Amino acid sequence: MKHIYALIAALMVGTASFAQLPDGSIAPDFTATDINGVEHNLYSYLDSGYQVILDFSATWCGPCWSYHTQGVFSDLNATYGPSGSNDIRIIKLESDDTTTLDDLNGTGTATQGDWVTGTTYSIIDNAADIFDAYSNTYYPTIYTVCPSRVLSESGQASVADHAAIFSANDCAAASLPNDAALLNYTGGTTACPGEPVNLSVDMMNLGLDNLAAATIEVSAGGSSILSYDWSGDLETYGIANVDLGSATFEADTNFDITITSADDNSDNNGSNGAVILAADATSLIHVEIMVDNWPQEIGWSITDDMGNVVEQVTTGSIGGAEGDVFEWWVSVPATGCYAFNISDSYGDGINGAAWGSIDGYCTVKSYNDDIVYISTIFDYDGSYWYEEETAGMSVSSVNVGVEEQTLSDVTRVFPNPFVDQTNLQFTTAEAAEASLVVYNLVGEQVINDNLGTLPAGEHNQVLNFNGITAGIYLVTLNAGGQTTTMRVTLK
């Protein structure tokens, strides 16, 4: 569904910038046949030393058509394509599979014009699968892919700016015998004091000869953290994830990763990483999330230092509507190092404002036995996209936890005030009989629900006030022998 919002956004703002595969990512390979019956394989072009420009667009997309009619790709192809210097290949990928060949030819009902006549580069139709493989969400999305398979989002650039990207030294085909290059840091990013963190990095062979050995050093502030001697057999453009070993950190640390062994090109021998020290916390953890219009995309977990799940809410299990707030109380079993992990299956976080919804948020905090705030573990305001975020927590004291809290501590009504209906959310530490009664201010029952035997965990009960007069009401919940009463306002 978000594709629809993205496409509308593309029609309105062709140059809007949303998150895609980040620059420096490895382009997924694909094989597809163009509208003239010619098969194209991305990696075959790259292995032949070509830089490849990928233009993901749709026939009905206004900004796509505007850029197409500027003739930038035609000019690039004439100068640098097969009829010119033969350095690049340009592939247009029509990525809305509901459009037709008539639309491409300008005679259909979902088109801005004739995309085929006068186009000198290849056009692939029905490329939605490739569009999704690149995590694209809007049209046009334009990438330049270097022979190394590394991509950058070049966008709707001019002829000169496109040429500057694919002509740069770091986008050249392999030409030196011995050229190891570091890509992205892939190791741990959070640490508890004194706890080891595994450090690792992706290394690519940009040399013509197979790479057999390299020495990699990790340092911070001019001091060495560790050094690792890698050996293997990495072919040209091959990538190895190098496990560098582990290190302990006593503070937030930014570090450099450098190939220190000799090779033929030192310009690509560096990368960097960072480790953030885990927040000091108690064992009683409160997770609060306000959702945008797509709550089903959100999932979260708390894991221990061995990766065992202490508590989790799986993707697809959160419902509700934009603006709804959900809360969970979690008691981790012992002191030690834990991690809070939140994921979004679409990869855009809770940044609903990008799609015409609202930005949500997520906060994770620890509390003492009296439900007094101790520390913030994670605080996300919905302003940026993520696929997964992790925050560490160093639990140094054990609380009684939610099992010994009163029912009133773990019960809330939202929204409040409300129109027509609201949600009653509460947590039971064990299986329990539950019921609720709603009274008006003169003591008359307006709602009486027997909820039956509920399993341990969090529960959400929708209170439907349709047909009930606006005013103030008292909601009384009984669960597991405990009772709590809340005041609500029906508008």
Name the DSSP letter for residue 295.
Answer: G
**The domains spanning 180-277 and 406-490 adopt the same CATH topology:** yes
Sheet of 457-464, strands arranged across: 411-414, 421-428, 457-464
pLDDT for residue 6: 46
Burial 426-461 (b: 16+ CB within 10 A, else e): bbbbeebebebbbbeeeeeebeeeebeebeeeebeb
Can you tell me the mean pLDDT for 294-310?
93
Kindly report the backbone phi and psi dihedral angles of residue 480, in degrees, each rounded to the nearest multiple of 5, phi listed first.
60, 30
For the chain, the domains span: 2-171, 180-277, 280-403, 406-490
Reported residue count of the chain is 491
CATH 2.60.60 fits 280-403, yes or no: yes
Q: What pLDDT, in 10s, does the model give residues 166-182?
A: 999 889 999 999 999 99
CATH 2.60.120.620 fits 180-277, yes or no: no
User: Among residues 156, 146, 157, 203, which one has the least CA distance to residue 180?
Assistant: 203
Q: pLDDT (tens digit, 9 = 90+) per residue, 3-53?
A: 444 444 444 333 333 446 888 899 999 999 999 999 999 999 999 999 999
Whether the CB-CB separation of 140 and 95 falls below 8 Å is answered with no
What tens digit of pLDDT does each residue of 326-369 get?
888 888 889 999 999 999 988 889 999 988 999 999 999 998 87
The structure tokens listed for 300 are 């979260």
Say which range, 95-99, 210-214, 377-381, 477-481, has the weakest mean pLDDT: 477-481
103: exposed, middle or buried (Cβ count in 10 Å: 0-12, 13-18, 19+):
buried
User: Strand, coil or helix: what is 312?
Assistant: strand
Residue 165, H or E segment: helix 159-167
CATH tag, 2-171:
3.40.30.10
Distances in Å between the alpha carbon of 274 and those of 220, 228, 259? 10, 18, 17
- Helix H, strand E, coil C: the string for 66-82 is HHHHHCHHHHHHHHHCC
Is pLDDT at 320 greater than 80 in this prediction?
yes
- CB neighbour burial string for 339-369, b if at least 16 within 10 angstroms, e if fewer: bbbbbbebbbbbbbebbebbbbbbbbbbbee
Which of 355, 363, 366, 356 lies closest to 381, judged by CA? 363
Average pLDDT for 132-157: 94
Options 2.60.40.3080, 1.20.1440.230, 3.40.47.10, 2.40.70.10; CATH of 406-490: 2.60.40.3080
